[in-house]
């Protein structure tokens, strides 16, 4: 992941496809990374680097707890916005 305040760092994905209720209305498909993010990191990218020249989008940071970062999965973002995710 790469957050505005915590910078870029690695962490193992410890959970995925978790249902989470938000305001009693919507479910988000999320994942969890074994890495602590900081206040202000929300919206930062979560990605994998399968080679030295490529990156694969996994999602965006949505919340932090001690030693864990929760992220909204990229397929769910695309589904809820009915569109593709721009990368550059």
- Pick the more confident residue, 17 or 40: 40
Average pLDDT of the segment spanning 9-14: 81
pLDDT band at residue 57, thresholds of 50, 70 and 90?
Answer: confident
Query: Phi and psi at residue 78, in whole multiples of 5°?
Result: -60, -40
pTM attached to this predicted model: 0.66
- Rounded CA-CA distance 86/33 in Å is 23
SS3 84: coil
Percent of the chain with pLDDT over 90: 0
- Asked whether 32 and 18 are in contact (CB, 8 A), the reply is yes
Residue 41 pLDDT more than 70?
yes
Residues whose CB falls within 8 Å of the CB of residue 68, separated by 6 or more in sequence, listed in order: 14, 32, 33, 34, 35, 36
Whole-angstrom distance, CA of residue 5 vs CA of residue 37: 8
């Amino acid at each position: 992941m790469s957050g505005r305040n915590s910078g870029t760092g690695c962490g193992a994905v410890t959970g995925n496809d978790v249902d989470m209720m938000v305001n009693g209305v919507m479910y988000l498909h999320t994942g969890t990374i074994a890495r602590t993010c900081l206040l202000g990191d929300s919206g930062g990218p979560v990605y994998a680097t399968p080679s030295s020249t490529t990156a694969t989008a996994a999602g965006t940071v949505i919340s932090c707890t001690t030693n864990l970062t929760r992220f909204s999965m990229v397929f769910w973002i695309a589904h809820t916005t009915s569109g593709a995710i721009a990368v550059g």
